[in-house]
Structure 1
Amino acid sequence: MACMFRRAIAEQVSQVLGLPPEKLIPHIHAIQVHRKQDSPDFQLYVNSVPGGQFNAACQTNAQKLASKLTGNSVISQIGTGRGCVTFSINRDLLTKTILRKINQDGSSYGMNSELLSNTPRGLTLVEYSSPNIAKKFHVGHLRSTIIGNFIANLKEAVGCKVIRMNYLGDWGFQFGLLGAGFSKYGCEEKLRANPLQHLFEVYVKVSATAEKDEDVKQSAQDFMQRLENGHPQALSLWTRFRDLSIEEYAKVYKRLGVQFDEYSGESFYTEKAQDILKLLKSKEILKTSGDGKIVVDLSEQGDLSTYSTVMRSDGTSLYITRDLAAAIDRMEKYSFDEMIYVTDKSQETHFEHLFKILEILGKEHVSNCQHVKFGRIQGMQTRRGDVIFLEDVLDEARSRMLQNMANSETSKTTEDPADTAEKLGIAALIVQDFKGPLLSDYKFQWDQALQSSGDTGVFLQYTHARLQSLLNLWETREKEEFDANCLQDPSVYSTLRHLLRYDEVIHKTLKELQPRYLVSYLMGLGHLANLAHHSLRVKESSPDVAHARLLFFNSIRVVLANGMRLLGITPLDKM
């Protein structure tokens, strides 16, 4: 695969430059494939070579370097481009090496590349989703859930041990409101019938009342204080609402194919939050603001121009106090190599303050903490209008895909059309979300997301199912040997060169934690697969040609499926 060819190129160049091959390998890149033109396979930009051997006259230096290199059994041609030396690989060797490697490695293809050799493979904690209990799963949590799942998948794929954490919002004034409001607006029958819908209705009513009625607001604060003091009746109600919430969330997670290793929540850290306050006090970094709140001064001048409130004037803890307790607890419990928080960009200041306070407290692990932030989805509507709840979005996606399947002449009958439509709909949601930079807000458009052509999740599913259907013709798939002369079509070489780039794409995606690079790569692979499918017939071919072509198509399917699973998409075999 690519690392074998990079090493062969690096060894050639190292003999001329006197540098170890390992220093050169990260600077040798597979060239992006253009469907309408042929090009070399790899390039080395001379100004990227470590050690400063080259000055600004890149083109001249590229030509000088190229003139000192010679081809061999691996490198069939050496040339120059704009400021770079280019390398073409022996075509038979390219074909045999890539197809055999994918056939042997399967789901681990690309993950053992030399490009990833310096990737830390320790313990990674990923905290994501984290809905507020006693509320239906809000559509705003969709991005945190699928982005966090993708990051966890990616880290696992490159060999990290990953703990997937769901940190529930199960404490604070919002719960005080709900606790006070349930006695006023709650109904046991409605709670049993549809727990989160009813609790949401209660919350909306009591919140509206509290804005006008100070007594209701005080009742909420009193309930929260009883809860923090461990009052049995308040704790019993809280426990019931929490258990009902997790039960309902599990149904949505199952639909999304998402799972967690650990559920925790703010409630786990109410007592430890008090210990944090004592620790902050002992470090003499607490101050009292003008309105009686206890704060940590984060300003360089010590003038409270930047501060973080860690305790209310009534002595109750805040979200950041409990987050500090959770972070320190995880540092002590897991001694992790990295911890990644996945939340929307509105919490950027919160995490800046969190990390700064941990730094002030001398917690070394804070340097391994990262906040992956993202923008918001705009314009997500069902046919009934604006949506709030994620279940409504999933139902809408499934419903629309069922309708599209019923109207399509190419759809095949499946054993469970609703399940197929569900997986198609979720693929559409994920790809639409992952196509751009995570930090950007984006406008969701149903018609665009659910198209079977173009760069959509449905297109990826369609391509995978089409390849799987083709492989049903394969009668001798146990036979690993094949004749590379049967695979000399230009569409084969374009696709193989694209497969060469998979480890580079994984490397870049991992470095930046941006799924758009992988999405773009998979779309390119899908389009190349469809071009090859048109030009490489299987049914009318001889057994040797058919076998070679099916091995080629299976290699595409394996890499396509690997990438889709990393994104959180379950590949369909039939649709």
Structure 2
Amino acid sequence: MACLFRRAIAEQVSQVLGLPPEKIVPRIHAVPVHRKKESPDFQLYVNSMPEGNIDTACHKENAQKLASKLATNSVISEIGTGRGCVTFKINRDLLTKTVLKKITQDGSLYGINSELLSNTPKGLTVVEYSSPNIAKKFHVGHLRSTIIGNFIANLKEALGFKVIRMNYLGDWGFQFGLVGAGFSKYGCEEKLKANPLQHLFEVYVKVSAASEKDEDMKQSAQDFMLRLENGNPQALSLWTHFRDLSIEEYAKVYNRLGVQFDEYSGESFYKEKANDVLKLLKNKGILKTTGDGKGVVDLSEQGDLSAYSVVMRSDGTSLYITRDLAAAIDRMERYAFNEMIYVTDKSQQTHFEHLFKILEILGKEQVGNCQHVKFGRVQGMHTRKGDVIFLEDVLDEARSRMLQNMANSKTSKTTEDPSDTAEKVGIAALIVQDLKGPLVNDYRFYWDQALQSYGDTGVFLQYTHARLHSLLNLWDTREKEEFDANCLQDPSVTSTLRHLLRYDEVIHKTLKELQPRYLVSYLMGLSHLANVAHHSIHVKGSSPDVAHARLLFFNNIRVVLASGMRLLGITPVDKM
């Protein structure tokens, strides 16, 4: 694997530069495969070296000078130079044997069991994501938050972090007062049982429209919320009923996505603790009062309230940010986490800047380990019924369109449960479309584009996995680990193996930046290379030894592809 080759290169370089190999290994990078020209396997940029016998003013000459002092051996077959770097080519037989044996040995841990990732500090990570508002529209932003947060949690967990997956529900505030007050007028218990989320949303829409015209309705909503905050049994019973039904429905939909949560939290949990936060701010002299009676925290450098955050209404009640402060402090005390990651859309950037700044003013050192992973908005995601209301509508649409595509395709295989296959492929399409670009970018969604079976789509990943899995039916001797590397000399095989060398680097970069696009791009590249190899080298009609070596090669591609897909939140299908 790449680490063995990096170590061999580093040991030679360390003798020349007088640096320990450990400092050199992370600076040796696998070179991306170029489709049209031959390229080296690894490169080391001389200007990346932290110290040693290098004059950083002249990189080209230094690269040539360093290369001249290195020698080929049983591992390194060629040494050259590029722009400011020394390049290395690995012995082809050794490359083939080492990569395939390592994948066979590590299985789904290939790329994760890497020296490059071994020094990553691991601890407890809290990831807060999805976080829909009860009784309000489950918009596409919640879908993005769900997909991105699930990916981050999967990645951290795979690398050995302990992860707490948290869903922080919007289950308090004036919008809930509207539903509570309006249910007696617009609600129906039968409809609530049949489709809780849809019916609560219908009630919310009606009562919200009525409250804009009717002051009495608005007052009723405020009165209901006041009763709720004061612990009125009837109001609390209705609130608990709505909340429990909503969570049950969310859990069904999350299950379809393969998403689970360790904890369902919510604003309601912190309604009382938010008052404790206000007292703390007041006792520390941090809470200021404006002319209109609002409580604010001064965020300005000059202390002149030129920048501030409102944390209390004029009537003394808490706000969303106050409850978020209470939640953050509670988690710091309860979990003593090493990091906490909030996954929300970029419109909340200012909110989190204020949140982190106030925590810093309060002297909460753990705020340095809090991070807001922000994402852009999606335009154009409509179902055939119209605008997206709930996540369930999106999943149903993806499944239905994929079923139709499968029925119309001449290459579709008969599956035991076409609906289940269509769902998994449709979800893969949604996930890849969502994760393939920089997270912060807005993008426009097109169903036809997302569900194409070619190009960089989730459907293409699933198709490639199913195609590789189908080859296993030809493999009679899969228990036999030994193989003849001479049977795998085709250039398409070498290109694919060189791409597999880069997997741990891609995982490392993805973890560092929490940008799934690097992994998506890598898996697309692997799938394209796998399809080229599938056309170039054949299993049927080959001798047993050749067939065995080639099947081992194809199965190892499948193992890495499946592992990467699962990190993204995709369940690979075996047939489609």
Query: C-alpha separation between the residues in 2 aligned to 1:101 and 1:474?
Result: 20
Determine the structure 2 residue equivalent to 1:281.
282
Q: Partner amino acid for 2:177?
A: G
Determine the structure 1 residue equivalent to 2:446.
445
Q: Partner amino acid for 1:260?
A: F
> 1:332-377 CA distances to partner (integer Å, 9 max, x unpaired)?
1110000000000011111111111111111111000000000011
Query: What RMSD in Å do the two structures reach over aligned CA positions?
Result: 1.1
> 1:362-409 CA distances to partner (integer Å, 9 max, x unpaired)?
111100000000001101122333323221111111111101100111
1:292 Cα shift? 1.6
1:212 Cα shift? 2.4
Query: C-alpha separation between the residues in 1 aligned to 2:74 and 2:18?
Result: 22
Query: C-alpha separation between the residues in 2 aligned to 1:99 and 1:188?
Result: 60
> 1:207-249 CA distances to partner (integer Å, 9 max, x unpaired)?
1122222222222222112111111111011000000100110
Q: Percent identical across equivalent pairs?
A: 87
Q: Partner amino acid for 1:49?
A: M
Determine the structure 2 residue equivalent to 1:488.
489
1:413 Cα shift? 0.4
Query: C-alpha separation between the residues in 2 aligned to 1:322 and 1:541?
Result: 67
Determine the structure 1 residue equivalent to 2:58.
57
Q: Which region of structure 1 is more displaced relative to structure 2, 40-49 or 385-394?
A: 385-394
Query: C-alpha separation between the residues in 1 aligned to 2:23 and 2:198?
Result: 59
The yes-or-no answer on 1:303 pairing with 2:304 is yes
Determine the structure 2 residue equivalent to 1:32.
32
> 1:534-559 CA distances to partner (integer Å, 9 max, x unpaired)?
11110111111111001100110000
Determine the structure 1 residue equivalent to 2:541.
540
Alpha carbons of structure 1 residues 136 and 212: separation in structure 2 relative to 1, 3 Å? closer
Gaps of 5+ in 1: none
Determine the structure 1 residue equivalent to 2:244.
243
Alignment check: 8 A CA contact 1:135 1:245 kept: no
User: Any residues of structure 2 matched to 1:553-572 within 5 Å, and which?
Assistant: 553-572=554-573
Q: Partner amino acid for 1:78?
A: I
Determine the structure 2 residue equivalent to 1:163.
164
Query: C-alpha separation between the residues in 2 aligned to 1:30 and 1:54?
Result: 24
Determine the structure 2 residue equivalent to 1:47.
47
The runs of at least 4 consecutive aligned structure 1 residues that moved more than 3 Å come to: none
> 1:149-201 CA distances to partner (integer Å, 9 max, x unpaired)?
00000001111011101111111111111111112222222222221111111
- Three-state SS of the structure 1 residue aligned to 2:79 is strand
- Three-state SS of the structure 2 residue aligned to 1:44 is strand
- Three-state SS of the structure 1 residue aligned to 2:43 is strand
Query: C-alpha separation between the residues in 2 aligned to 1:140 and 1:39?
Result: 42
Determine the structure 2 residue equivalent to 1:112.
113
1:137 Cα shift? 3.2
Query: C-alpha separation between the residues in 1 aligned to 2:183 and 2:306?
Result: 40
Query: C-alpha separation between the residues in 2 aligned to 1:211 and 1:5?
Result: 69
Determine the structure 1 residue equivalent to 2:15.
15
Determine the structure 1 residue equivalent to 2:132.
131
The yes-or-no answer on 1:573 pairing with 2:571 is no
Q: TM-score, normalised by structure 2?
A: 0.98
> 1:46-84 CA distances to partner (integer Å, 9 max, x unpaired)?
111111723232211111110000011111110111111
Query: C-alpha separation between the residues in 1 aligned to 2:259 and 2:321?
Result: 27
Query: C-alpha separation between the residues in 1 aligned to 2:497 and 2:57?
Result: 34
- Three-state SS of the structure 2 residue aligned to 1:140 is helix
Query: C-alpha separation between the residues in 2 aligned to 1:411 and 1:3?
Result: 40
Q: Which region of structure 1 is more displaced relative to structure 2, 282-291 or 148-157?
A: 282-291
1:136 Cα shift? 5.4
Determine the structure 1 residue equivalent to 2:5.
5
Query: C-alpha separation between the residues in 1 aligned to 2:394 and 2:345?
Result: 19
Determine the structure 1 residue equivalent to 2:430.
429
Q: Which region of structure 1 is more displaced relative to structure 2, 192-201 or 61-70?
A: 192-201
Q: Partner amino acid for 1:21?
A: P
Query: C-alpha separation between the residues in 1 aligned to 2:50 and 2:97?
Result: 32
Determine the structure 2 residue equivalent to 1:323.
324
Q: Which region of structure 1 is more displaced relative to structure 2, 388-397 or 434-443?
A: 388-397
Q: Partner amino acid for 1:401?
A: M
Determine the structure 2 residue equivalent to 1:255.
256
> 1:478-520 CA distances to partner (integer Å, 9 max, x unpaired)?
0101111111111111000000000000000000000000000
Q: Partner amino acid for 2:498?
A: R
- Three-state SS of the structure 2 residue aligned to 1:131 is coil
Query: C-alpha separation between the residues in 1 aligned to 2:159 and 2:141?
Result: 29
Query: C-alpha separation between the residues in 1 aligned to 2:44 and 2:37?
Result: 20
Count of residues in correspondence between the two structures: 575
Alpha carbons of structure 1 residues 390 and 203: separation in structure 2 relative to 1, 3 Å? same
Alignment check: 8 A CA contact 1:137 1:391 kept: no
> 1:72-110 CA distances to partner (integer Å, 9 max, x unpaired)?
111111011111100011111111110000001011111
Query: C-alpha separation between the residues in 1 aligned to 2:89 and 2:353?
Result: 48
- Three-state SS of the structure 1 residue aligned to 2:462 is helix
Determine the structure 2 residue equivalent to 1:101.
102
Determine the structure 1 residue equivalent to 2:146.
145
Query: C-alpha separation between the residues in 2 aligned to 1:274 and 1:226?
Result: 17
Q: Partner amino acid for 1:30?
A: A
Determine the structure 1 residue equivalent to 2:361.
360
- Three-state SS of the structure 2 residue aligned to 1:414 is coil
Q: Which region of structure 1 is more displaced relative to structure 2, 391-400 or 131-140?
A: 131-140
Query: C-alpha separation between the residues in 2 aligned to 1:547 and 1:135?
Result: 56
Q: Partner amino acid for 2:48?
A: S
- Three-state SS of the structure 2 residue aligned to 1:472 is helix
User: Any residues of structure 2 matched to 1:148-297 within 5 Å, and which?
Assistant: 148-297=149-298
> 1:236-264 CA distances to partner (integer Å, 9 max, x unpaired)?
11000000100110111011110011111
Alignment check: 8 A CA contact 2:332 2:366 kept: yes
Alignment check: 8 A CA contact 2:106 2:113 kept: no
Query: C-alpha separation between the residues in 2 aligned to 1:291 and 1:420?
Result: 59
Alignment check: 8 A CA contact 1:449 1:457 kept: yes
Alignment check: 8 A CA contact 1:126 1:164 kept: yes
- Three-state SS of the structure 1 residue aligned to 2:50 is coil
Query: C-alpha separation between the residues in 1 aligned to 2:319 and 2:181?
Result: 19
Q: Partner amino acid for 2:444?
A: K
Query: C-alpha separation between the residues in 1 aligned to 2:184 and 2:385?
Result: 32
Query: C-alpha separation between the residues in 1 aligned to 2:243 and 2:185?
Result: 19
Alpha carbons of structure 1 residues 297 and 215: separation in structure 2 relative to 1, 3 Å? farther
Q: Partner amino acid for 2:252?
A: K
Alignment check: 8 A CA contact 2:450 2:458 kept: yes
Query: C-alpha separation between the residues in 1 aligned to 2:220 and 2:323?
Result: 23
Q: Partner amino acid for 1:221?
A: Q
Q: Partner amino acid for 1:121?
A: K
Alignment check: 8 A CA contact 2:139 2:388 kept: no
Q: TM-score, normalised by structure 1?
A: 0.98
Query: C-alpha separation between the residues in 2 aligned to 1:385 and 1:160?
Result: 41
Query: C-alpha separation between the residues in 1 aligned to 2:374 and 2:274?
Result: 25
Alignment check: 8 A CA contact 1:167 1:263 kept: yes
Query: C-alpha separation between the residues in 1 aligned to 2:269 and 2:353?
Result: 23
Alignment check: 8 A CA contact 1:293 1:311 kept: yes
Query: C-alpha separation between the residues in 2 aligned to 1:565 and 1:470?
Result: 21
Q: Which region of structure 1 is more displaced relative to structure 2, 184-193 or 313-322?
A: 184-193
- Three-state SS of the structure 1 residue aligned to 2:415 is coil
